[in-house]
Amino acid sequence: MERAAVFDVDGTLVDTNHLHVTTWWEAFRQAGHRVPMHAVHRAVGLASTDLIGHLLGEDRDTDQDARLSAAHKALYGQYFDRLPALPDAGELLRRLAGEGWKVVLATSAGGAELSALRQAIDADDAIHATASADDVAAGKPAPEPVEHALELAGVPAERAVFVGDTVWDMRAGSRAGVRCVGVLCGGLPRADLEEAGADAVYADPADLLASLKESPFA
């Protein structure tokens, strides 16, 4: 029977979370907002508008949202040519694909950003499909990104595993009815990931790869 291995990308396969923190912080600073970096860090993984709303509140001037998002994209885009994959990220995807899993990426990134992330991972031969921010109406923690990934794979939730690094990932996967695996390389504590729905937690892709036989992928 076909199985799906669904992966978040930022902070899970590519070491970008702290770049997002810095560039969002600078985008907010340029717009006159003082947002602590630790608060930005915990919001990373949300879609841009949701992240802005989470940090500035629903009573903010929403006319600023597009400018804030554009500023973040411009600042973050300066790193596209050198985004670092996490250890064994590409090898993990190739191993799972070789064992018959349909590997699908589920990410809030799209366009040039997604292309840069895929280039960093360097495992296009193992990736069956990508569910990007451009494909769904609501981002994580809504289940739509994971559900769309399952549709692309043609696999039901009970035969899928979702790997991510944030509480938003774990909540999205849990709501979609898939087993969730957390990784610590995004910078969040193990307890937060477990509380949000992680069935198992590993240090990073290399740790998960080394532990596949004892993992939810077994």
Instruction: Please tell me the pTM assigned to this model.
Output: 0.96
* Residue that wins the pLDDT comparison between 111 and 42: 42
98 sits in the region (left: phi over 0; alpha: psi -120 to 50; else beta) called alpha
Q: b/e map of 132-171 (b: 16 or more CB within 10 Å)?
A: bbebbeebbbbbbbbbbbbebbebebebbbbbbbbbbbbb
pLDDT for position 1: 83
Q: Which two tokens stand for residue 164?
A: 């991510």
pLDDT for position 86: 98
Adjacency order of strands within the sheet including 101-106: 127-131, 101-106, 3-7, 160-164, 179-183, 200-202
pLDDT for position 137: 80
Give the pLDDT confidence of 26-39 residue by residue, as tens digits.
999 999 999 999 99
Please work out, in degrees rounded to the nearest 5, the angle formed at the alpha carbon of residue 13 by the alpha carbons of 11 and 19: 35
